[in-house]
Amino acid sequence: MPWNWQIKNWPDFRYDAAAIAPYEQRFLLSSGEILGAFYHVSPPERDQLRIDLLSDEAMKTSAIEGEMLDRQSVQSSLRRQFGLSPGSYPAKPREQGVAEMMVDVYSTYAEPLTHKTLFRWHSMLMSHDRRLETIGAYRQHEDAMQIVSGRLDRPTVHFEAPPSDQVMGEMERYLAWFNSTAPDAEKPMSALTRAGLCHLYFESIHPFEDGNGRLGRALAEKSLGQNSGQPSLIALAFSIERERKAYYGQLERHQKTLDVTNWLEWFAETVLTAQQVTLGRVAFFIAKARFYDRHRARLNDRQAKLVERMFREGPDGFAGGLSAENYLSITGTSRATATRDLQDLVEMGAVVRTGERRYTRYWLNLPDAADPVRARQT
């Protein structure tokens, strides 16, 4: 079976616009909800919220490719890129590179896409990688560009991209398509359709030696930002990472055809899920601010350390809840002191307790954390 770029009429992708229309409407409604939620965050808090959301996306877009990053280093790098105090934590090369790219995508979302843009992103992302022949330029090697898995002597080829000598021509056409389908261009395209196509189209060309997945997801973010009229802060990579197997399966399936309706439906569902995740994170961030307004002055040093650690676990908290053993490990205190501290937290309303005896667990008390408007007004 030929690859999609070998099929007649490439890259004229076919899809059922009517099937995608309901997703497009839901996307617009959720975009308005996200914008409204951000208005309930004070300007100083917005900086930290932006850092939190972008660092999560940096971590997840790398995790999709099997790379585990240091969150504190990513956040320190992001703060430096935004001109904020980075703190004392060192910025490591790999984390600094992905942070630079994320901020560049965020800051230049409205600008037309150019070769220079892509080369800059690739240089930021891969500058630490000494094994690549070409960084900051399209691939030039003569070997076939293949996505493979399995044994070295019997590999499974999931996809083969156009040869390197065709890449510049393919990318010229890609850039022309991307810029001509922008909201104010001559052939505007609806948000989810354009973002889904731009990602699949780019991945099918696979123009760089490495980093194509992360760059392709960055392009989808840029596309969504242009259609929304504001930088995209939705949890796209987070949602894709949770469905990583399905994501790769969808890409592989639709790199053998030009009929991409199913891909666009899957991608649209993923974006809509990402929007809801972002709304939940905004609500959690607001609830966190309100929690500290209520309780900060009453927390002793051990309790403050615990609460900070619990918030670091995110909206889902500790898997199965916080136990007394967790408290001992985090604070290094005695069992008797841990019992008193935890009871005090329950009585002040900072945490809620569930279960009995060795099954006792503790959870942060965050009323209305699922609703950013109510959380702010509480």
Question: What residues does each domain of the chain span?
Answer: 4-282, 299-377
Inform me whether the pLDDT recorded for 47 exceeds 80.
yes
Asked whether the predicted pLDDT for residue 333 surpasses 90, the reply is yes
CATH value of 4-282 in 2.130.10.10, 3.20.10.10, 1.10.3290.10, 3.40.50.740: 1.10.3290.10
CB 51 within 8 A of CB 297: no
Note the pLDDT of residue 256.
96
332 vs 317: which has the higher pLDDT: 332
Q: Among 79-83, 148-152, 175-179, where is mean pLDDT lowest?
A: 148-152
Between residues 25 and 148, the one the model is more confident about: 25
The answer to whether residues 177 and 137 touch, using CB atoms and an 8 Å cutoff, is no
| 319 three-state secondary structure | coil
Rg (CA), the chain: 23
Among 268, 342, 296, 351, smallest CA distance to 21 is for: 268
Q: Are 106 and 57 in contact (CB under 8 A)?
A: no
Q: What is the largest CA-CA distance in the chain?
A: 74
pTM of the entire predicted model = 0.88
What pLDDT shows up at residue 267? 98
The rounded percent of the chain whose pLDDT value lies above 70 is 96
Mean pLDDT for the chain overall: 91
Structure-model confidence comparison of residues 282 and 268, the more confident one:
268
Is pLDDT above 60 for 251? yes
pLDDT at residue 91 tops 50: yes
pLDDT at position 356 over 80: yes
CA angle 18, 23, 29 (to 5 degrees): 130
Q: What is the rounded CA–CA span in Å between residue 240 and residue 238?
A: 6
Q: Does domain 299-377 have CATH number 3.40.50.300?
A: no
> CA–CA distance from 230 to each of 3, 75, 227, 329 (Å)?
35, 22, 8, 43
Q: Which pLDDT belongs to residue 129?
A: 77
3-state secondary structure of 203: helix
Angle at 65 between CA 225 and CA 118, to 5 degrees: 45
What is the model's pLDDT at position 369? 65
Higher model confidence: residue 86 or residue 293? 293
Hey, what amino acid is at 133?
E
